[in-house]
Amino acid sequence: MAEKKELRRQFEEVPIEAGIYEVANTENQKIFIGKTPNLKTLNGMKHILNMGANNNKELQADWNHFGPDAFTFTVLEVLEKSEDPSFNEKKALEQLEEKWLSDKQPFGERGYNRRPKA
């Protein structure tokens, strides 16, 4: 029980960081690029995929077909926060995601993301 409490304490001490992540399918090389205001929630995403409840139907279908061991989760970039009062974390995170989507092009045969609307 003490070990469980210590692990929880360590988890809670880790700062909440926003960022961009990649889910990569090692079987077909497709990727998904996503953003989150809390990178700690990536374990939650794995849980949702394991439960069969992810909103991305294609990613969920491949997760079900290939299994969790066929996927890797990687943090691509942590959002640097600014002390500037005009700093908008949500907007900055969206811009960071756009940069990575443009760079990686995870659309169609290459990935699970939908093309942004023009």
As for how many domains the chain has, the answer is: 1
Structural domain includes residue 51: yes
The domain containing residue 77 runs over which residues? Answer: 18-81+88-104
68 part of a folded domain = yes
Q: Considering the domain boundaries, does residue 69 fall inside one?
A: yes
The predicted pLDDT at position 31 comes to 98
Q: What is the pLDDT of residue 89?
A: 93
Residue 109 lies in a domain: no
Give 10-residue mean pLDDT values along the chain (118 residues): 75 82 98 96 94 97 98 97 90 97 96 87
Whether residue 67 is contained in a domain is answered as: yes
Residues 49, 63 contacting (CB under 8 angstroms): yes
pLDDT, residue 14, reads 67
In a domain, 11, yes or no: no
pLDDT at 111: 97
Q: What is the pLDDT of residue 95?
A: 96
Q: Tell whether 1 is covered by a domain.
A: no
The CATH code of the domain that includes 53 is: 3.40.1440.10
Q: Give the closest residue to 19 by CA, choosing from 72, 76, 100.
A: 76
Structural tokens at position 82: 């600014």
Which H or E element spans position 32? strand 31-36
Tally of residues, the chain: 118
pLDDT score, position 71: 98
* pLDDT score for 6: 77
34 within some domain = yes
